[in-house]
Amino acid sequence: MLSKALILILLLSALLEVHAGTRSRSHRSTQRPELSLEVKVCEKRPNFYRCKYHCESHKDCQANNICCLTFCGNVCMSLL
């Protein structure tokens, strides 16, 4: 009888771990902002010193920056 109770407890704890793992994984994916792969026109006009630092994609820019098209080419601009 004790072994059946132990197996039941182990089974329930395994199910809880699986459920918690899928919930946290789906929650993580909703927090990540989706960036388009194409470079779009900048919403703000950059300062001239930004024209020295060109980019080809968002991966070329630092965190909280995107690569966008300006009068002097593609540059990294802040999202903030």
Clarify whether residues 27 and 41 are in a common domain: no
Helix (H) or strand (E) holding 4: helix 2-31
Q: Are residues 43 and 6 in the same domain?
A: no
Model pLDDT, residue 30:
52
**Global confidence as pTM:** 0.51
Give the position of tokens 């918690």: 20
Domain of residue 5, residue span: 1-32
Separation in Å, CA 28 to CA 22, 25, 62? 10, 5, 21
Tens digits of per-residue pLDDT, 24-33? 555 555 554 5
Same-domain status, 6 and 41? no
Residue 40 and residue 79 share a domain: yes
Look up residue 5 and give its two tokens: 């109770």
Task: Say if residue 21 is in the same domain as residue 56.
Answer: no
Is 59 in the same domain as 74? yes
> Based on the structure, what is the number of domains in the chain?
2
pLDDT recorded at residue 5: 74
